Amino acid sequence: MNSILSRIAVVTTGGDCPGLNAAIRAVVRTSIHHGLEIKGIVHGYDGLISGDLIDLKNESVSNIIQRGGTILKTSRSDRFKTDEGMKLAAEQVKSNNIDALVVIGGDGSFRGAEKFSSIHGINVMCIPKTIDNDIFGTDQSIGFDTAVNTVVQAVDKIRDTAASHDRLFFVEVMGRDSGMIALTSGIAVGAEAILIPETDTRVEQLVKILERGWQRKKTSMIVIVAEGDDAGGAYAIAEEVKKRFTGFDTRVSILGHMQRGGSPTSADRVLASRLGFAVIEGLVEGRKNEMVGVINNQIHFTPLSEVVNNRKLIDRSLVTIAHMLSQ
């Protein structure tokens, strides 16, 4: 073990998602295995600024792997974005003799962590979590698999009522800047169309797809819409479509924050456990200022500077698959 490493702290920042507790559990138990003290920071970066730290033991993380949310709470911190806020946070790290900070967060959290590290010289190691799955340096982030399964379960139920009433449903899912939830869940539920920020939405083309389904005597149709789609979201698109397509009664369903809650899937529990374990192993080996991810099912470390300066792109082959299979 690295002799200068004796105490670390873990924090969950930004929006919540399923799998955070599994990651915390892995971080805590791997740290204790290596003889490290482990502190938990409550309420994200705001808690770091105010010094809201608690001791974490093995028993602290018992019976949490199946729970959604985060036992450490989380927040989006405007104070941490300021020079003064970061200075106060750095003072807390140093006064509490913390040798490294483990941040379980997303893109915004990592940008703050990278700046915090470069300005104040604090070792920050990161674990990716976001239901959007848009973080560079990992094939999948914690929370994505559960969110997709939540959408699939909801849309399967919506499809039942849509078929009973000959209805067209526009289902809006989360994804302000990324269409990964919409694209993946849309393929899984056999959606007639999938509208995402990464592609241009043309209402005329969408109407043609729906008319083709009507001619084939479909009894229901589902259109999955990412909230950040360029045409303005499910309600706006549905209104435009209703002017041109009257074959089915049209409804809109906004799934909203239910996608961020619930018990994590087995895939998210295993991913969170792998990443939580790997980040501590990396620290013990002397790694600094990196994010741990999984690429081609192998643990991979990426410098934080690369993570925040690159954007993860959607898999274009999935767009092709979605289009072809909806014919």
CB atoms within 10 A of CB 258: 14
Which phi and psi (to 5°) does residue 199 adopt?
A: -125, 155
Residue of 16, 46, 107, 132 with catalytic role = 132
Q: Name residue, tokens 């994505």.
A: 144
Collect all residues with Cβ–Cβ distance below 8 Å to 208 and sequence separation of at least 6.
none
Per the annotation, the verdict on 132 as an active-site residue is yes
**Tokens 């934080």, located at residue:** 304
What does each C-alpha distance from 39 to 65, 84, 200 come to in angstroms? 18, 23, 46
Buried/exposed code over 76-109 (b: 16+ C-beta within 10 A; e: otherwise): ebebbeeeebbebbbebbeeeebbbbbbbbbbbb
Tokens representing residue 22 in the block: 């599994």
Q: Which residues are catalytic?
A: 132
